[in-house]
Amino acid sequence: MSHLILVRHGQSEWNLENRFTGWVDVDLAPKGKLEACKSGELLKIQKIEINYFFTSFQKRAINTLKLILNTLRMQDSQIIKAWQLNERHYGALTGLNKDEMKKTYGDKEIQEFRRSWDKLPEPLNKNSPYHPLNINAYKDVPTKNIPDTESLKDTYERVFPYFENEVISKLKQNKNILVSAHGNSLRAICKYLFKLDENQITKLEIPTGNPLFINFNNKFEIVKCYYLDKKRAKSLIVF
């Protein structure tokens, strides 16, 4: 049996300000740091050995994982960082306040931008300071792989091949893995694991800083799946 733990980073500074973040490298808000430490405490109770730790290139996910490891009294040198696990790129919406955008475009339009399967926001101007080309964290990522905008479908097509090659292969070797990532990159993983269709995946809500604990049998079938913090759990649609 193997275990996969998925953790959406704790509340970030731009989550707090209700802004579209995407690939902008903002840090955790104070509440997010507390959520990350609570995640570590919840994982400590499980008393399992975690063999691999994956995260994105974004410091809100990286620092969530570091705080978890600190709580578990483990070295953060074991972290594997992958840009493929980054949040969805929100294009020209990046940095904008969601409530202000609702006043301009309406609730339905903004919700479609946020959760529809294949709707793309307008591309972000390459001269924007928020464009990944102008953010130091991505200087070693091949330019052809850096997006100007993404749909959830694009995010899935970026995340899944990496997850399949680097994570699933290890789970099938009965290794236990923790992934600290983002709402939409984790939605992409959940779409595959839970066999969600394009409509179901748009409805999946993933809370910040609450480990999703998934147990697999030797046939790589999910036998249990639950959030460790029951009070802050969200519906998994299929469980």
| Known catalytic membership, residue 3 | no
| Known catalytic membership, residue 150 | no
For residue 81, the surrounding DSSP H or E stretch is strand 79-81
Alpha carbon distance 13, 27 (integer Å): 6
User: Token pair of 1, please?
Assistant: 């049996």
Counting other chains too, the contacts that 108-116 makes at CB distance below 8 Å and 24 or more residues apart are 115/152, 115/202, 115/203, 116/151, 116/152, 116/202
Catalytic residue, from 3, 9, 89, 131: name it.
9
Catalytic residue, from 3, 35, 87, 89: name it.
87
Are 6 and 68 a contacting pair, CB within 8 Å? no
The torsion of the CA quartet 131, 152, 99, 205, rounded to 10 degrees, works out to -130
Burial class of residue 56, CB neighbours in 10 A (0-12, 13-18, 19+): buried
User: Token pair of 47, please?
Assistant: 């008393």
Among 68, 102, 75, CA closest to 178: 68
Catalytic residues: 9, 87
